[in-house]
Amino acid sequence: MRKIPLSRVFLNEEVRAAALRALESGSYILGKECEAFESELATYIGTKHAVLCSSWTAGGFLLHKAMGLKPGDEILVPSHTAFPTIEPMIHFGARPVFIDIDETYCLDVDLLEASITPRTVGILPVHIYGHPANLDRVLEIGRKRNLWVIEDCAQAHGARFKDERVGAAGVAGMFSFFPSKNLTVMGDGGCITTNDSALAEDVRMLRNHGRKSKYVHDMVGYNLRFNEIQAAIGRVELRNLDRLNEHRRRVAAHYTERVSRVVQTPPEKQWASSVYHMYVIRTERRDELAKHLQTKGISIGIHYPLANHQQPAITKLYPDLPTLPRTEQVVNEILSLPIYGELPMEDVDYVCDAVLEFFHS
Ligand SMILES: Cc1ncc(COP(=O)(O)O)c(C=O)c1O
């Protein structure tokens, strides 16, 4: 039987050669490969700086620390996102204020203003599944109400809001290079993109024990650095990213064309260019359909079956959580179909046939 994975890393001879080159270079942490990767990432996203760190989550700690997040601060954030989006802020005693989503699964910008209190300090939109949140509105509200904006771009490397790649619009963008992401380093990794030179400098110091020179520590920092082998791999992945994203868009268009009469397919706003980190359909018969696809050798995912305001860790922490009707409904209906930058179109057709067969159409 055919076996179709949900996602697969891009791995070719150039990637292998880059890893070997770094392995034999004699330099392993924050060296020339990291420097070059940071500069290429910054150019690609369109920011002055990109600062590599050991994961998105690590970057979150560094950024919140550098920005002086403090207990009692509130941050507007969608509940429908990966749990790590809200972890760093909670460790600083700040509170996630959960916002419901719109039809793109990103935070509903029309609900933001009503959730602002005197304690609100920022907005953290998530470009979920590779589709950008409505950045114009988020930035406008941020400016008007004096709130910072940090973009969670963990699933959206190369996605565009209008003509601009996400990750350059607010104070900072944050990327993950976890193996399932559109751009990976074959392990954990992340980066922060920003135009704020002082912030970039603070984050660089904090990730490396608070120092600029080897034996002088200006701050008490962490070890959340990046390494040369993964940077060398990431550089090759970055050079291939647009081509792989274009293929994802072709796969998505094909899925939509074939299965939109039986399931709800993901919308793409006219101002958005999604990079389809996930291709997420919706149906009330989600669990049955998932089983059917699995019996056909097709891997599926649910991103995510429990929203963050429903997580035990969160319900224990906060007694007064909101009801988020759209989020609470979609978590029972969403299903992620296989998608990656080199997914063969025959496999896409095989998945479509299996979906149509389930609905007998
Ligand atoms: C939307 C989102 N934010 C944050 C993260 C955390 O990324 P990392 O695993 O690099 O810490 C992920 C990845 O799981 C994610 O999908």
Q: What is the pLDDT of residue 31?
A: 97
Which of 208, 235, 262 is the last residue in one of the domains?
Answer: 235
Residue 283 sits in the same domain as residue 342 = yes
Question: Which residue type is seen at 151?
Answer: E
Q: Which atom of ligand 1 is nearest to the CA of 55?
A: 10
Q: How far apart are CA 128 and CA 153, in angstroms?
A: 8
Q: Spell out, as residue ranges, where the chain has pLDDT lower than 50.
A: none
Cβ-contact 237, 185 below 8 angstroms: yes
Q: Which atom of ligand 1 is nearest to the CA of 59?
A: 11
Residue 196 sits in the same domain as residue 228 = yes
Q: How far apart are CA 289 and CA 282, in angstroms?
A: 10
Residue 105 sits in the same domain as residue 195 = yes
Q: What is the pLDDT of residue 235?
A: 98
Q: Can you give the CATH number for the domain in which 260 is found?
A: 3.90.1150.10
Residue 219 sits in the same domain as residue 260 = no
**Residue 7 located in a structural domain:** no
Structural domain count of the chain: 2
Q: Can you give the CATH number for the domain in which 51 is found?
A: 3.40.640.10
Out of 75, 101, 155, mutate this one to test ligand 1's pocket (max ligand atoms within 8 Å of CB): namely 155
**Residue 1 located in a structural domain:** no
CA of 155 to the centre of ligand 1 (A): 8
CA of 154 to the centre of ligand 1 (A): 5
Q: How far apart are CA 176 and CA 185, in angstroms?
A: 9
**Residue 8 located in a structural domain:** no
CA of 261 to the centre of ligand 1 (A): 32
Which of 179, 206, 235 is the last residue in one of the domains?
Answer: 235
CA of 57 to the centre of ligand 1 (A): 7
Residues with beta carbon inside 6 Å of ligand 1?
55-57, 81-82, 84-85, 126, 152, 154-155, 176, 178, 188, 190
Q: What is the pLDDT of residue 361?
A: 65
Residue 39 sits in the same domain as residue 64 = yes
Parallel/antiparallel/unpaired status of strands 190-194 and 49-53:
antiparallel
**Residue 279 located in a structural domain:** yes
Residue 148 sits in the same domain as residue 254 = no
- CA pseudo-torsion sign 174, 232, 198, 140: negative
Q: What is the pLDDT of residue 154?
A: 98
CA of 359 to the centre of ligand 1 (A): 34
Q: Is 79 exposed, middle or buried (0-12, 13-18, 19+ CB in 10 A)?
A: buried
Residue 206 sits in the same domain as residue 322 = no
CA of 56 to the centre of ligand 1 (A): 6
Q: Write down the pTM of the prediction.
A: 0.98
Answer left, alpha or beta for residue 30, where phi above 0 means left and psi between -120 and 50 means alpha: left
Which range of residues forms the domain containing residue 308? 241-358
Residue closest via CA to ligand 1's atom 14 equals 82
